[in-house]
Structures are given as structure tokens and as C-alpha cells.
Amino acid sequence: MSATVTLTIDGREVTVPRGTTIFDAARVNGIPVPTLCHQQNQTPVGVCRVCVVDVGARVYAAACVRECDPGMVVKTDSAPVLQARRTLVEILMSDHPSPCARQQASGDCELETMAAHMSPAARTPAGGPGGPAQPRYARRLSPRGRDDSSLSIAVDHEACILCDRCVRGCDEVKQNNVIGRSGRGYTAGIGFDLNLPMGSSTCVSCGECMVSCPTGALTNKRVVATELGGEQLDPEWVLQLPVFKGVSGTFLELNKGAVVRRTFTPGEVICREGEFGSTAFYILEGAVDVFIGSPIGHVKQEDAHAGWLSRIRSRLASRQEHVRQEENKQKWIPIDAPVDLPYDKPIAQIGAGELFGEMTCMSFHPRSATVRAATEVVVLEMLRNVLDILQKNKTFRAELDRKYRQRALGTHLRSVPVFSAMPADFVEYLQDRVELLRFSPGQVIVKQGDPADAFYLVRLGFVKVSEAHPGGELVLTYLGRGGYFGEMGLLGGGVRTATCTALDHVDVVKISGEDFHLMLARFPEIRDGLEHVARERADMNRQRMVTAETVPINDFLVQGLMEAQSLLLLDLEKCTRCDQCVRACADAHDGVTRLVREGLRFDKYLVATSCRQCRDPLCMVGCPVGSIRRRNSLEIIIEDWCIGCGLCARNCPYGNLNMHPFEVKGPDPAQPSRQIASVKRKATGCDLCMEHEEPSCVYACPHDAAHRVEPLTFFASMRAPGQSPVGADAARASRAAGDQSQRRPGAGTEATSK
């Protein structure tokens, strides 16, 4: 058999090696055949059919997959063939968002370029010449739309033409095996891993799929108008760093400016606590001090003078002056770094090979600590897309995890009060047995009703703990660094009692059920502590649900009252709008009221704007040092290591948290030997006037119109069949019951470790 074949293409006789496709035979002889799904470095698949040619058979053949036969006569530019291609391009364009992201950015979308030259009719002016271009065919909108979960690559499923070039680039060129086909017919599209969002998949953002894609379905998320202020780096130099081993050069080339090198002299501040940022830092050389400069102290309120309505003065007080329930258990302050800070002296030092600012970079939370160069320091400062790449880089991640196991796991475990007595030998035993897992925003970590097989400790980010009920989801709490979950299922029957979901980028330490039970068997004090917490959580949940069953849930949900556990109500039939309650609150709190006589209405009551002690406390989400939490009584309190970033005040949907300024003296961060006066802020909220027998606003109301109530109990009695709306006596009784539950130690707790 001859090693070559001879055929005719558009009247020209050509000879090519046996096995050559018509597309390649035409290409090497200078005969153009258009294609969208085929690239030189990929296996041809013939899915777009734009390369169809006439080979004298019943149907046209796809030139990229049809091999040449001896004596074959091929027509690539006959009128019927050109018309077939135009029709194919028009159909593809009918589903294509024009201009797509690639066409807008660089003007080189292969489909739109082909349509402009081959099929001008693919877009016809609406309303005559000069009108906006409209498709000839009805557009098919993708049910999947856009996927912006990846920090490096934007995915637009509507622009995808299912050419499979990204699939072959990922599999054949890079051997990452992340992308594949998903769905059938109308729902067909590309998918990542087991049809996950791209950002949640094992994609390493190498960029090969973007380079392969002929349209704007996969495009680079470029850094726009961002000046990091450091030394711009050559991608080739960056790739020589061990930390970037395995990272794609294509990605670094496309994202120049997203990682820079910066040098700091001793004493120079790299970042400050409370400031918002969008970058993380990796130390190449030197060491840095990590500390909290804000004064450690509560916002203590005390009587300034006696009188009919005492005035309250606010000042900062130490724990020794103002001992509160559960106060002295916390010995460590969680921060956004590979270490926690000791409470008594909140300062630590980290060196080369360490990463800090990760939570700020990934989730845009405020900086949790001030970082100052202890020696001359060289760092890499990077944006989210670069950090995301490193987090998925197996070499980099393995090194960070190794350092965490060796240096930080023990401190992290002992920073949780219930584990504070764990000996070093058992920590060493756990070092190589725990799993370090990462979850993307919205990803479920454990689901209510599933078997309980492990215990989890939050290492980074925030986790929402919720229960599913017939009336909808009920949020129990939010857990940050040092929080834990999973013990109730392991201790009480082997079934998950709640669903835990990642609110942002979350890292957890997973301890297997086997090791968890071994820990409890060896250390009875840890078992006692966990069982005590589990009992309190279970009792609180039962009490809440028994009360909630008698309440008109629909009415509560409409107005958001289900979120509250303590409300200030104004009886509008008695209220004369004298504003005595507002003035009393202002007089009691340095002239700044924590009460606004506006809000939602339920029946004849106005729900005034004051702290609701919410059941879904959004104020707790994102606190960079975990200083806002709940007591066992569900009262929201702010710990003395608050750094005054103001995030809780911004998160509160009702405007009930305020930032209180205090003038303090302390060392200058730039020159520690020099004392300076500065203004530091601390978050404060309505504390029910705990220093008084009842809130000032209620005490001052001359018409018995203001009441502090526990809403479930109050509205349940008001709506009970056959009963009239409650009067003043019932309201006062409900208020007293609510106040008693607020003040009684151990009245219940939430699903948190703090």
C-alpha cells in the first residue's frame, strides 16, 4: 500500500501522506478552510461543522476529521458549501451575546470575526439601515448564565458554542482534567469537575482554556486600575521562586501587576488593624511583628451622677475592673495570620515563608492586626486572583499546611477554651491525622440529618450554622476562627443536628470521629466541657421551638421580627410622640441616643429602632478578631479586644451599633519609644441599660407606652385564639420575663465556642 494518496482540491491535484485529513491537506497547500472547533495542537473532534466540504457524497464532510482517499475530489468553495457554512455561522450567532466579552476587550472573537466576513446577514438592522443589530433567529438563553466564582477566569455560558477546545486544552495540553461536557440538548454546556462552579473546582487557573476558547465564554479577569505601589516583576523571575512552582506562566503574563515585590525597613508599618484591604503578603526575607495596638478594655458604663434619671458615662475598663460572665476564659485573640495573639500581651513574630492578610484579601474583611517590620523585610504583595492560584497550587498549599501543623495547630486548639488543657503529646498525635479542608462561599460543609463522622474547628473565614424547619431556615449563629461544630452529632446519636455553610472562603481542621472519641476518653475534662455546651445548645433550641410553634410565623417573617429575641415596642394607642424615651436614651449615653422612634409596625405596636438581639446576628459576620459574640443568654456583647474597625456597625441592618471614640495614650506605632495621644474607637450597642433595673427609655415613658419584650412570647399571647390584645399588665409581665432571661446566667447558649 502506498504511503501517500493523491486527490483533487478545488481543481488542484495534491499529494499528501496517507492518514492526512482534508483540512490539513488543504492547509499545507495554501487552500483556506474555516474552522472554530479545531486547533493544531489538539485532537480534531468535528463538532462545529464550519469546515464542511463537498466530497461527492450524500452529505457534506467535516474536513478536520475526514481523511483523504485516493482520487477524492473535494470542493471547499462552491456556492452550496459556502451557503451551508453561512447558515451554520448564523445559527451559532443567533445564540451568541454580541459583542461578547472577548470582542469588547480585544476585538478578536473568532465567531464574530467569521460572521462579519462570511455572513453579514447574521445580524440585520432593526428598523432599517443604521438601526441596532438584531439576530435573525430567536436567541437561546443559557440556563446557566455567567459564572464569576473564579478569581482569575470569567465564564459566560451564553457565549459558549460547545466547541470543546477548552476541554481538550485542559486535558490534552495541560493534563489537568478539570473541564468536561455536562447536560444534554438545551442544558448542554461545559462543566468543572462534578459540574461545580469554576471557583469551587480543582481548576488551577493555568489559562489554557482561555487561550483555547474562540469566543468570550472564557476570558481573563484582568487587574483594572489597581496600583500596588511595589516593584513590577518579570513573570519569568516569579516562576523561579519556589512558592510559584507549578503556576502557569500564561496566567502570570496575563496578570502583570497583580503581584509585586516590596521592601520595608525596620519599624516600618506594612498594614494597620481596622483598615480595609484587598491584598495578602508572603514573606520572602526577614521577620515582622504582628500586634494589636488598640487598647484592651470594655466600654464600661457607669452612673455619672444621681437623680430622677441617672446619666451614664462611658469609659474603657480592664477585665479586673469589669468582670463579666464567661469573661476570663479567653486567653488568645484570633487574627488573620498563622498565629493567634496571647490576650495578656497581644504581639507575636513571624518570618520568611509565612503568609498573612489572607482573610482580608479573599473576603475583604478589615485587617485584624498591625504588622510592622522587625528587620529589613522583603514581601510579595498579591491580589485575590494570584492568592487564589497559590491556594490551589499543590506545592504551595502543602508547605503552608505543613507549617500550620507544626507551628500553629497546638496554639489554635488551645485557644479554644474547652481544649485549653490538651497536652502537647496529644496535639503531636493529631498533627498528621487531622485533615485541612477548604470550602468556597456558599458550599455546605455538613448537612442537617447526615451521619456525624467528624468534628470541625474553624481555621479561617466564617461559617453559618442553621436549622431547617417547616417555616424556613433558622440561623443559630456564625462561627469564626476558633469556633467549632460537629460535637452535638458525635455526642448525641450520630446525626447532624444543623447545617453548616461557608459564608466566605473557609478553612477548617477536620478531626475524625475516631480521634474525637479517643480524645474524650483520654481527657474527661474535655468531654465534660463539650457535653455541657451540647446540653445548653439543645435546651436552648428546644425552648425556642416550643415558643415559636405558637406564633403567627407568616406575619413575623414578613416584617423580620422572627430575627429578634428582644424588642423595644411602642404602643401607638398610648404613645403621644413626646420623645421622652429618645431623650432619656441620649441623656443616659453621653448625648448620643441608641433609640430611634421609627421602624416596623405590627398590629398596634411600633417596633422602634434599637438593638433587637437578633436571632440571625449579622453584626457578628466578618469581625476580624472575633470580638463580637453571644452570651449563653443570647445577648450580643462586644469583647474588650475590639479593634474599632466598624464592620459590625456597617453590617447591622437596623443601625443599632455605634462607634464610640476614646482618647488614649500609647506608643507611636512608627516609633514605639515615643508616647502619643490618639483617638481609638470601640463598637457599642444597646445593652438594655444593664446598670439600671430597667432600660432608661422604658423608665422615662410617662404613658406606659414603651416596653421591652421577648417577641415570641409577647406576640404568641397577643395572637392566642379567644384572647384580646394584651394590656399594660401583660406587657410588663412579658417584658419582665424577657429581661430576666437576658440577665440570668446560663439561660441557654448558641452554637458557638466562645
Domain at 130, CATH number? 3.10.20.740
More confident residue, 111 or 559: 111
Residue 169 placed within a domain = yes
Do 551 and 635 belong to one domain?
yes
Residue 429 placed within a domain = yes
Number of H helices, E strands in the chain: 22, 41
Do 654 and 623 belong to one domain?
yes
Do 562 and 691 belong to one domain?
yes
Stretch 710-737: mean pLDDT: 51
pLDDT surpassing 60 at residue 723: no
Tell me which DSSP letter residue 562 carries: G
Do 128 and 152 belong to one domain?
no
Do 710 and 582 belong to one domain?
yes
Q: What is the per-residue pLDDT across 261-285, written as a single tens digit (0 to 9) for each? A: 999 999 999 999 988 888 999 999 9
Do 75 and 179 belong to one domain?
no
pLDDT surpassing 50 at residue 438: yes
Q: Is 549 left (phi over 0), alpha (psi -120 to 50) or beta?
A: alpha
| Torsion sign (Cα): 728, 729, 734, 735 | positive
Last residue of a domain, one of 163, 189, 220: 220
Residue 25 placed within a domain = yes
Last residue of a domain, one of 193, 220, 247: 220
Residue 338, amino acid: P
The answer to whether 604 touches 234, Cβ cutoff 8 Å, is: no
The structure's pTM equals: 0.66
Alpha helices in 76-121 (DSSP H): 79-94, 101-106, 110-118
Longest dimension (CA), the chain: 114
CATH number, domain with residue 212: 3.30.70.20
Average pLDDT, the chain: 78
CB burial string 522-535: b at 16+ within 10 A, e below? ebeebbebbeebbe
Q: What is the pLDDT of residue 693?
A: 63
Alpha-carbon Rg for the chain in angstroms: 33
CATH number, domain with residue 448: 2.60.120.10
CB atoms within 10 A of CB 450: 12
CB atoms within 10 A of CB 350: 21
CA distances from 239 to 236, 242, 253, 280, 556 (A): 5, 8, 11, 18, 57
What is the rounded distance in angstroms from the CA atom of residue 507 to the CA atom of residue 400?
A: 12
What is the rounded distance in angstroms from the CA atom of residue 416 to the CA atom of residue 418?
A: 6
Q: Which three cell numbers stand for residue 667?
A: 506608643
| Torsion sign (Cα): 489, 494, 500, 502 | positive
Report cis status (omega within 30 of 0) of the bond before 423.
no
Q: What is the pLDDT of residue 725?
A: 41
| Torsion sign (Cα): 58, 60, 62, 68 | positive
Residue 293 placed within a domain = no
More confident residue, 579 or 47: 47
What is the rounded distance in angstroms from the CA atom of residue 133 to the CA atom of residue 649?
A: 48
- Would you mind telling me the total number of residues written for the chain in this entry? 754
Residue 415 placed within a domain = no
Write phi, then psi, for 71 (nearest 5 degrees).
75, 5
Do 608 and 478 belong to one domain?
no
Q: What is the per-residue pLDDT across 391-423, written as a single tens digit (0 to 9) for each? A: 777 778 888 888 888 878 887 887 777 787 788
How many domains does the structure of the chain reveal? 4
Query: 741 falls in which pLDDT band (50, 70, 90)?
Result: very low
Do 655 and 680 belong to one domain?
yes
Do 602 and 507 belong to one domain?
no
Residue 532 placed within a domain = no
Last residue of a domain, one of 113, 135, 157: 135
Domain of 607 in residue numbering reads as: 547-743
Q: Which three cell numbers stand for residue 117?
A: 466576513
Do 556 and 673 belong to one domain?
yes
Distance of CA 301 to the CA centre of its chain: 36
Residue 402 placed within a domain = no
Do 150 and 105 belong to one domain?
no
More confident residue, 634 or 458: 458
Do 123 and 151 belong to one domain?
no
Residue 655 placed within a domain = yes
